[in-house]
Amino acid sequence: MLPLEGIKVLDLSRLAPGPYCTMLLADFGADVVLVEEAGSGAGRRAAVAGREDEPARARRAAAFNALGRGKRSIRLNLKDERSRDIFYHLCRDADVVVEGFRPGVVKRLGVDYETVAKINPGIVYCSLSGYGQTGPYAKLVGHDINYISIAGLLGVTGWPGQPPAIPVNVGADFAGGGLFSAFAISVALLARGKTGRGQYIDMAMSDGVLSLLTSTVAMMVQSGRVLGAGDFLINGAAPFYNVFQAKDGGWFSLGAIEPWFYENLCRAMGREDFIDHQYNHEKYPEIFAHFREKFRERTRQEWFEYLSQWDICAAPVLRLDETMDDPHNRARDMRVELEHPDAGKVMQVGIAPKLSGTPGNVRGFAPVPGEHTDEVLRSLGYEAAAIGQLRADGAIA
């Protein structure tokens, strides 16, 4: 049994944060129905419709769409009243709606929380946006880089005197947005079990990122100074919490914050005289210089094997391809391989939370857009002739 079996999710989102949120829910058993575009608004998908190779091409594309795994897909033109009626029908027995449009769009389409809650008061409705539904930035467009800028994460990333280091878009899109939304939805579902009522979730990615910086802000408040890029303990100022280049050009990370780990590190690096200077900033240039020189004596893997014997927080900085082949990640089932009829064996990232009683499961590939339109409509009582007419009129696809 999967813990979210019986939970039905309608996913109106398009870009990465919403699909990641509903992928997490699907991995634990939720029936996620993607409500995708139909008609002229479908953009490039509509432009290529009708090509002889389109079905096979779409299936191959779906094979590599990990965020869509384990979901079903229907295509509705929500600007069409008949399609909105179909959506309303789906909402009657749904548990969750997720949308990622700019504030105001779902209201114009007539699929906003107020409308849906009248149909189903128990619905948990999550609006996931960059800056939220309120506040002076609510109407602004943005992407991960903008949200982590407003939230302060980009301002503490990098090195002093250098431009901020732009991380891959996990901070806002996936952690502050998708992951926080999945958490909020789960909390709201638990609350519904107690109150019998659904509720609205206003999830801003900028809010999520700022929440991730809770401890960092507390450090700033306690110290009484603004923390900048590369100038405090855990973002590059300390030699014992840093990265160093090895003999083979690879990089290696150290995280020896605790005094006993730092002591072990100093002994391993052949400089016991550094032990009493962990927080002596005047000594840092000398410690940095020694560590940089020392790390050039061995390869990255040799350092990993050596330092692993010393009870030190230390690990090689892996490339993404190396990460997917790493023996620990494999042992933790964080690499899964699925067999696809068109694409062959496809690798995906596995499920992070390891539940002992009701573990998650990667339940197949992403659907082709609209793959389950007829199936879903038949489950709502639509006859074949009515489905054909809706398709001919562009209400569905």
* Known catalytic membership, residue 173: yes
Choose the catalytic residue: 144, 173, 207, 372: 173
- Domain spans of the chain, in order of start: 8-212+333-392, 233-325
Same fold, 8-212+333-392 and 233-325: no
Taking the domain 233-325, which CATH number applies? 3.30.1540.10
Query: What pLDDT, in 10s, does the model give residues 56-70?
Result: 788 888 999 999 999
**Dihedral pair phi/psi, residue 67, rounded to 5°:** -70, -20
Angle at 325 between CA 70 and CA 361, to 5 degrees: 20
pTM of the complete model:
0.94
Confidence at residue 54, expressed as pLDDT on a 0 to 100 scale: 73
pLDDT confidence bin for 39, thresholds 50/70/90: low
Structure tokens at 62: 């779906």
Query: What pLDDT, in 10s, does the model give residues 3-22?
Result: 999 999 999 999 999 999 99
Instruction: Give every CB contact of residue 46 below 8 A, 6+ residues apart in sequence.
Output: 39, 40, 397
Query: What pLDDT, in 10s, does the model give residues 214-272?
Result: 999 999 999 999 989 998 999 999 999 999 999 999 999 999 999 999 999 999 999 99
pLDDT confidence bin for 150, thresholds 50/70/90: very high
Choose the catalytic residue: 80, 89, 143, 340: 143
Residue with token string 């998708």: 178
Domain 8-212+333-392 in CATH 3.40.50.10540: yes
- For the cut 60, the answer to whether the pLDDT of residue 350 exceeds it is yes
Instruction: Give every CB contact of residue 362 below 8 A, 6+ residues apart in sequence.
Output: 27, 69, 70, 336, 338, 348, 350, 351
- For the cut 80, the answer to whether the pLDDT of residue 46 exceeds it is no
* Known catalytic membership, residue 143: yes
Q: With pLDDT > 90 as the criterion, what percentage of the chain qualifies? A: 92
Alpha carbon distance 188, 174 (integer Å): 20
pLDDT confidence bin for 50, thresholds 50/70/90: very low
